[in-house]
Amino acid sequence: MYELENVLRPYAWGSTTAIAGLLGRPASGGPEAELWIGAHPDSPSVALSQSGSAGAHAAVADHGGRRPLDTLIAEDPEHHLGRESVAEFGPRLPFLLKVLAADSPLSLQVHPTLDQARDGFAREEAAGVDRAAAERNYKDDHHKPEMILALTPFEALCGFRPAVEARAVFQLLAADFDLAGLELPPLVPLLLQDLAQPEEHTALRSAFERLINGGEDIADATSAIVAALVSGAPTAPYQAELSTVVTLNERYPGDPGVLISLLLNRISLAPGEAVYLPAGNVHAYLHGLGIEVMASSDNVLRGGLTPKFVDVPELLRTVSFDAVGVPMILPETTMLGQEVFRPPFREFQLQRVELEPGADPVPLAQEGPAVIIVVSGAVLLDSPKGELRLERGGSAFLPAAEAPVNAHAVSGATGTALAFAVTTALKG
């Protein structure tokens, strides 16, 4: 077992206090958006030789007690990942765990399927597009399904709502303009026509395409709608959706994503609730602190609410225009007392580990490699090859060869310990 040092990403949308408060350390003074825990080559965690088996210690001892996790794994993939994981995903850690803290909205985005990622990456490689170029869509040939578990109230946009519901929102806006005696922006009747088409897939695609292509008419209509809302236009029963329009426009005035948000499910997660995000799902996190887990990839196609590159044709090839219910995911309790969130992806599953003082140990639901982070109290990990104590904010990589691993409440400790562990879902 290897204790880890992890990379903190200071994106501008990050909270200045949430991650530090969760992990019990001083704030850095700047935005702290994401803590990456894993072996992604852009920001791999660093494995330390502080504990674990003699073999684990030796693996990093010759490097000053520190070893990038991706490098460490590459030296003996089957030991660290297990034969099944290597056969399925190759000699790489297939998942990435993040602590995410959004103080302002992230970009509207979608992730490709595995086939789309492979094809897109191959096309851009053949065309000689620099992997660091702003216009590069595919940074690797992997897909990026993900899930988010809320630790605080968490706000997000997630997938298309039914066309009839989206049309009702725009009908309310039309009625607001009529009530106030204001001239209705020409865009609104056009969107109402789009959303009235009998085939839902076509209706949603038509409205989305009209908005994503942008232009002065989109910006002007957005400005007029926001002005009407700010002046007190009725918003019931769509208060959350329309207040989100105002908030998004404050940060990205006239951006197509402001009105696209009205085509999407506007969700509020309570602490402990989780959603998963498959390929093609248009989404944006708006505010809150959560545990995010994803397949280890950097493939993101943006659709608005960002100054970054938006490739509209490629985006339209990637988006799924099916209306979906909010893809909530409930935990399963196994016969061993493990609380596990299992989205329909083979790359990862998330286990929530809660330990009261003096409680029996909880076995980790480890299928191949695993990572774990402690967010409250202290946890003692033990395996046939060694043990490792993690305090609040501590994290570790658990090689496949280390299993089985049990999590214990620390003797004499007061208060509840809480940790989150991620492993593959090859047996699911």
Please give the average pLDDT of every successive group of 10 residues along the chain, which has 428 residues.
Answer: 97 97 95 98 89 52 78 97 97 98 97 97 96 92 97 98 98 97 96 97 98 94 97 96 97 96 98 97 98 96 93 96 93 92 97 94 96 97 95 97 95 88 90
Measure the CA–CA gap between 295 and 143, rounded to whole angstroms.
7
Measure the CA–CA gap between 58 and 50, rounded to whole angstroms.
11
- CA 108 to chain CA centroid, nearest Å: 12
Continuous segment of H or E residues that includes residue 125: helix 114-126
With beta carbons less than 8 A apart as the criterion, state whether 279 and 109 touch. no
Query: Exposed, middle or buried, 63 (CB in 10 Å: 0-12/13-18/19+)?
Result: middle
Measure the CA–CA gap between 223 and 246, rounded to whole angstroms.
10
Parallel, antiparallel or unpaired: strands 46-48 and 2-5: antiparallel
Q: Supply φ then ψ for residue 192, to 5 degrees.
A: -65, -40
| Amino acid residing at 131 | R
Measure the CA–CA gap between 341 and 331, rounded to whole angstroms.
5
Give bridge partners of residue 3 from the DSSP assignment. Answer: 396
DSSP 180-212: HTPPPPTHHHHHHHHHTSSSHHHHHHHHHHHHH
Q: Output the pTM of the full model.
A: 0.94
With beta carbons less than 8 A apart as the criterion, state whether 385 and 412 touch. no
Whether the CA torsion 120, 36, 102, 355 is positive or negative: it is positive
With beta carbons less than 8 A apart as the criterion, state whether 321 and 282 touch. no
Sheet with 379-383, side-by-side order of all strands: 362-363, 406-409, 379-383, 386-390
Query: Exposed, middle or buried, 173 (CB in 10 Å: 0-12/13-18/19+)?
Result: buried
Domains in the chain with CATH codes: 2-158+269-318 (2.60.120.10), 161-263 (no CATH), 332-423 (2.60.120.10)
Which one, of 319, 330, 235, lies nearest residue 274 by Cα?
A: 330
With beta carbons less than 8 A apart as the criterion, state whether 347 and 370 touch. no
Q: Catalytic residue numbers?
A: 302
Measure the CA–CA gap between 178 and 235, rounded to whole angstroms.
14
Continuous segment of H or E residues that includes residue 228: helix 216-230
